[in-house]
Structures are given as structure tokens and as C-alpha cells.
Amino acid sequence: MSDRIEVLKTYKTYVGGNFPRTESGRYYKVYDGDDNILANACQCSRKDLRDAVVAARNAQKGWNNRSAYNRGQILYRIAEMLETRKAQFVEELETIGYKTKKAKAEVEASIDRLIYYAGWSDKYQQVFGTINPVSSSHFNFSMPEPMGVVNVWAPEERPLLGLVSVMAPVIVGGNTCVILASEKYPLSAISFAEVLNSSDVPGGVVNILTGFKNELLEHMTTHKDVNAFFYTDPDIEQGKRKQIDENATLNLKRVRRKPVEDWLSEEAQSPYYITDFQETKTTWHPVGL
């Protein structure tokens, strides 16, 4: 063992392409598998959420205006970056009690999931868009378009794969998002933000906060400049689920719940995850000289 003092990482948040601390100055302790303190994580406040939504909103139009090809390339780039830092993420998962094999499987699945959605970037519109043979002299087509800004609760389990699985289908379709990381295991999410930051993902497309779901639920689901709310929690209490739905009525926020049990399984990825965060826009135009 070396005498060198290790330089510890400060885990901050990821908002608008920067790594700010929570404005509240609050933190909570994150533990490893054996109840030893691993790090302090930011306990984000509603104001952090507010700032993150602003960043996401500002980035949305530009992100959507990127070509599908370009968005695909950027998702692929994230995968590449993650691949090069595989060891770091495996190690990080090990600190929270993952066996090496399981940790490796999760990181690899995360990389593969990114590539899966990268490949969809320029295809889902082909598969889910339609040309509609209306009976008047009009050309009519329907295309999926991003909803806009999506607030996301990352799954509690599978801190990396879960995060990637909820993020990728949202952003590949031109949405931007604010993700609240797994409360219990937030560290992989912040490390993943470093991957995002080095992957040509424009600032604000993905914003990652850490903190308490209960505390942020109200503002994440009522915020009127947010178009959709996405969560997965299979075991959510009925009362909370109801609260989410009720809050969403305020601006008719679309609520999507995917109670996935196994993030490694096939049910955890499909183009329908992309279309869940798309609106269909139908355009008519006369056909004539």
C-alpha cells in the first residue's frame, strides 16, 4: 500500500453542461455496501430543479434541430466514452456492493443500450411516422415530434443501467431532461455526467440532480414548463403515484410509468420508449399547380 493520500472526488450536480453544487448547500451521505461513508452527495432543492429546467428548456430547441444522424452520433459517442471508462464505473459499482461480474455486466449493458438507442435516432420516425391517404387533394403526413422537457426519476436500483435506460430514449427523440439520480446510489450518475460532458452532448440536454425524491416530487411533477414526467418505480406507494398523476393535471403533463423489474431484460428497451415521449404532429398541404 502506498503512502500517497488519495484525492477524493467531490460529487456535484450536472446542470446546463456545468457541475454546480446545490444552491442550498445541503448534502447527504452516501454509503457503500457495508454502511461506510463513500461520499457526500448534493441534496438538491427546488431551486436546483428550477435552474435545471431552465437549462433543459433552453437547450431543447437546439437539440431538436440537430439532425437525427447527429443525435445518433452523439449517443454513440457517449457509449464510446463510457467504454473507455468502463473500469472506473465497474469499480464505482463495486463500492456499493456489486460483484465484479455483475458490475461489468451492468456497465456493458449500459454501453450497449446507448448504442441501441443511437441506432434508433434516424429510424423511429420512419417506423412510427405515417403518410395518410386522405380523400381530398392534400398531402398529409404524421411525424413524431419531441414533447420538450421531461423530468425523470432514475430507477433506484441499477444506478448506471437504469439511468442510461431512461435517459437514452428520452433524448434520442429530441427531448431534453432533468434526471433525479437514484437516491441511494447517486454516484454513478454524477460520474456518468462526466461522460456526458466529454461526449459532445450539448449543455442542458441532460441535467442530473441528486437528492430526495420525496422532497422534489412536488415540484418535479407540478412544474408548468415541463412537458412530461417519467418514472419507473415498480413498488411506488399508491398515495405517491396518485399525487404524481394529480400534480400532472396542472398543465396536462404526460406521465409515463414503466415499472421495469429487470433492466437487463428485453422489456427494458424498445422504440416504444422513444414514442412515449413524442407527440404526433399531422401536417396537411394541398396538392395542385
Partner 1 sequence: MSEDSKQAEAVEEKPYKPTSPSSKLNFDGFWEYDDAPQSADHVEYKDQYDLFIDGEFVAPEKGRYFDSLNPATEEKLTSFAEATQQDIDKAVQAARKAFNKSWSTLEAKERGKYIFRIARLIQERAREFAILESMDGGKPIRESRDVDVPLAAAHFFYYAGWADKLDYAFPGKKAEPLGVAGQIIPWNFPLLMLAWKIAPALATGNTVVLKPAETTSLTALKFAELCKDAGLPDGVVNIVTGAGQTGSAIVNHDDIDKIAFTGSTEVGKIIKKSLAGTDKRYTLELGGKGPNIIFEDAPLDQAVEGVINAIFFNQGHVCCAGSRLFVQEGVADTVIQKLRDRMETLIVGDPLDKNTDVGAINSEQQYNKINEYLEIGVNEGAEMYQSSCQIPETGYFCRPTLFTNVGQSNRIVQEEIFGPVLTIQTFRTAEEGIKKANNTPYGLAGGVWTDKGSKIFKTGSEIRNGVVWSNTFNKFDPTSPFGGYKESGEGREGGLQGLYPYVKLQ
Partner 2 sequence: MKISEITKTVPIDEVGVEERVARLNSRSIKKESKVQALKLALSMIDLTTLEGMDTPGKVIQLCQKAKEPHVALPDLPTVAAVCVYPNMVPVAKKALRGTDINIASVATAFPSGMSTLDAKLEETQQVVEDGADEVDMVISRGEFLKGNYSYVYDEIVAVKEACGDAHLKVILETGELQTYENVRKASDLAMHAGADFIKTSTGKVKPAATQPVTLVMLEAIRDYFYDTGRKVGMKPAGGIRKAKQAIQYLVLVKETLGADWLTPEYFRFGASSLTNDLLMQIVKQQTGVYQGVEYFSND
Residues that bind partner 1 (CB under 8 A): 127, 130, 132-136, 138, 140, 142, 145, 147, 227, 238-239, 241-246, 248-252, 254, 270-272, 279-286
282 interface partner picked from partner 2, partner 1, none, CB below 5 to 8 A per type: partner 1
8 contacts 39 by C-beta, under 8 angstroms: yes
Kindly list the residues in this chain that would bind partner 2 in the complex (CB under 8 A). 136-138, 286-289
Q: How far is the CB of 207 from partner 1 (least distance, A)?
A: 22
249 interface partner picked from partner 1, partner 2, none, CB below 5 to 8 A per type: partner 1
287 interface partner picked from partner 2, partner 1, none, CB below 5 to 8 A per type: partner 2
Q: How far is the CB of 143 from partner 2 (least distance, A)?
A: 22
215 contacts 242 by C-beta, under 8 angstroms: no
Q: How far is the CB of 289 from partner 1 (least distance, A)?
A: 12
Task: Determine the Cα–Cα distance for residues 142 and 130; give it in Å rounded to an integer.
Answer: 5
Beta partners for residue 151, in sequence order? 178, 229
Task: Determine the Cα–Cα distance for residues 217 and 4; give it in Å rounded to an integer.
Answer: 43
Distance (Å) of CA 48 to CA 43, 174, 266? 9, 23, 34
Q: By C-beta, is 65 or 136 nearer to partner 2? A: 136
Q: How far is the CB of 225 from partner 1 (least distance, A)?
A: 11
Q: By C-beta, is 192 or 231 nearer to partner 1? A: 231
For residue 171, give the amino acid letter.
I
| Helix, strand and coil percent figures for the chain, each rounded to 5 | 45, 20, 35
225 interface partner picked from partner 2, partner 1, none, CB below 5 to 8 A per type: none
Task: Determine the Cα–Cα distance for residues 21 and 48; give it in Å rounded to an integer.
Answer: 9
Q: By C-beta, is 14 or 124 nearer to partner 1? A: 124
Q: By C-beta, is 157 or 245 nearer to partner 1? A: 245
State the SS3 of 224-269: CCCCEEEECCCCCCHHHHHHHHHHHHHHCCEEEECCCCCCCCHHHC
Q: By C-beta, is 87 or 134 nearer to partner 2? A: 134
Q: By C-beta, is 59 or 196 nearer to partner 1? A: 59
289 interface partner picked from partner 2, partner 1, none, CB below 5 to 8 A per type: partner 2
Q: How far is the CB of 139 from partner 2 (least distance, A)?
A: 10
- Reading the block at residue 31, the C-alpha cell is 454509503
Q: By C-beta, is 37 or 289 nearer to partner 2? A: 289
Q: How far is the CB of 65 from partner 1 (least distance, A)?
A: 9
56 contacts 48 by C-beta, under 8 angstroms: no
Q: How far is the CB of 130 from partner 2 (least distance, A)?
A: 21
Distance (Å) of CA 117 to CA 57, 235, 243, 269? 22, 27, 31, 8
